[in-house]
Structure 1
Amino acid sequence: MSEGAVVDQFAMAPLNAAKQQLRSAMKQKLSAISHESAMAQSHVVYNTLKTFKPYEDATRVSVFLSMPTGEIQTDPIVRHALESGKEVFVPYLHRNPLPSPELPARVMDMVRLRDIQDYESLKRDRWGIPSIDPATVHERQRIILGGPDAQHSDKSLLDLVLMPGVAFDLNPNNGAIRRLGHGKGFYDYFINRHKSKAASLAAQEEPHKVSLYALALTEQLLTSPSEGEVPVGPLDQPLDGLILGNGEIIRPSQNNTDQ
């Protein structure tokens, strides 16, 4: 979908309602997970990721910064990536520079962390998520939005995006991994723009493929009809895989998992 495409919001209403219903159910489910279990699962994901080839091979990695509860904790991953010499990018939310009724008012870019000290200096926002200080953004490398106010390379593209989610499942018809986000569409819109940027550069260089992997607690994967299913629409971006808190790596179009 292009940035100028218009989505029929009336037609999307039932889909959005179904997504919100599942988010509410998952909020209750995730609130019951103990801190010890979440930390143990996060440790397993971290150890799995360290020897995961798409991560090992990646030069530029985007990592979400975790809420205090209800999802995989990414602090060890961020530290390991920085210590390994990778270029580490984290989410930054800002006003859309392309205002339009058909486009989101706020969008997400990925901005680069300088080093461990820079990461440790981040302040937590009202949700408890470490966040980039807007006053420093003009000094940082950014993936999507460049211009004179940013240290931006027109050829900067990510190799790997590690993203969060609320719930996941496998489409029984085609094996695709379906992801339910938090409802703002930040990742879907960012990935779409990243793909557009990669396509525009493809005429000049080799085609670039970014790997999209979500990290999830085992409780976030819906495995039976009684738990419901993840509704998806035309704007929801497909994943290349899902890394679970038990060490499983699930890929689309497969009915099995890799250890």
Structure 2
Amino acid sequence: MASLSAAKQQLRSAMKQRLGTISHEAAISQSSAVYNTLKSFKPYVEAKRVSVFLSMPSGEIQTDAIVRDALESGKEVFVPYLHRNPVASPSLPARAMDMVRLKDLGDYESLKPDRWGIPSIDPATVHERQRIFGGPDAQHSDRALLDIVLMPGVAFDISPENGTIRRLGHGKGFYDYFINRHNAKSSSLKQEPPVLLYGLALSEQFLSSPSEGSVPVGPLDQPLDGLILGNGEIKSPIENKTK
């Protein structure tokens, strides 16, 4: 596990340097390409309950247009909310991520940036919102399951062994832990199909050849159902298994 952690951190450091060279204009252009691909992408178009990450000011795909489109299309839009993990265990993260629902476009536009510049939910309003997990004050949490999760990441690649799409996160384990909990909840409620997981990435975040490195993964790392890149391309694990 120590060697896995070191390999992940090494790749994060390398990707930080690579992403630091991307201009704001280039990132905006790639974000537009991702949005234009996504808005006609069947899994997204048909999804009724969508989770979308809210972006840092730089270094990743900007999701503002996606959030607006999802809200204006009548989808139920959920965004990340970090809180203290109610389950205390050395094997679990001290903080956990839930997904809470935006009420409408005005609600989204009223979000204030946190210290990283990410628009964030006011903790004082969380008890008023529908969310996936939460506590006894969560509204309809027993019925809240997602259709698709649009995920950020630091780096992505395709496994040469089995064709799965691998994701390197920022190292906190928030998404992997959330997805494991969501899958368990879905199983207990006997609801199908399972939630779809799609990464959104700048083209520079995709490691297209072994010379660029590879994404190290452990048993808790969740493979993705697909990846949409800043050049408009959609990477699919099924396509790559058949090549």
Provide TM-score, normalisation by structure 1. 0.91
Describe the superposition over 1:97-130 as per-residue Cα deviations: whole angstroms up to 9, x where unpaired: 1112222110000000000110011110111100
Query: What letter is aligned with 2:188?
Result: S
Whether the 8 Å contact between 2:134 and 2:141 is mirrored in structure 1 is no
Which residue of 20, 42, 60 maps to 1:53?
A: 42
Unaligned runs of 5+ in 2: none
Describe the superposition over 1:206-240 as per-residue Cα deviations: whole angstroms up to 9, x where unpaired: 42311100000000001122211100000000100
Whole-Å Cα distance in 1 between the matches of residues 140 and 112 of structure 2? 24
Whole-Å Cα distance in 1 between the matches of residues 45 and 206 of structure 2? 25
Q: Percent identity?
A: 77
Whole-Å Cα distance in 2 between the matches of residues 153 and 172 of structure 1? 39
Shift of 1:256: 8.6
Provide TM-score, normalisation by structure 2. 0.97
1:101 aligns with: 90
Matched, 1:187 2:175: yes
1:166 aligns with: 154
Matched, 1:150 2:138: yes
Matching of residues 83-162 of structure 1 within 5 Å = 83-147=72-136, 149-162=137-150
Shift of 1:184: 0.2
1:4 aligns with: none
Whether the 8 Å contact between 2:34 and 2:231 is mirrored in structure 1 is yes
Which residue of 219, 228, 235 maps to 1:250?
A: 235
Unaligned runs of 5+ in 1: 1-11
Matched, 1:208 2:196: no
Instruction: Write out the 4+ residue segments of structure 1 that deviate beyond 6 Å after TM superposition.
Output: none
Whole-Å Cα distance in 1 between the matches of residues 89 and 241 of structure 2? 43
- 1:254 is paired with a residue of what secondary structure? helix
Whole-Å Cα distance in 2 between the matches of residues 222 and 151 of structure 1? 41
CA RMSD of aligned residues (A): 1.3
Whether the 8 Å contact between 1:90 and 1:112 is mirrored in structure 2 is yes
Shift of 1:173: 1.2
Whole-Å Cα distance in 2 between the matches of residues 82 and 119 of structure 1? 9
Whether the 8 Å contact between 1:160 and 1:212 is mirrored in structure 2 is yes
Query: What letter is aligned with 1:218?
Result: S
Query: What letter is aligned with 2:23?
Result: S
Query: What letter is aligned with 2:109?
Result: E
Whether the 8 Å contact between 1:88 and 1:113 is mirrored in structure 2 is yes
Query: What letter is aligned with 1:107?
Result: A
Aligned residues: 242
- 1:255 is paired with a residue of what secondary structure? helix
1:222 aligns with: 207
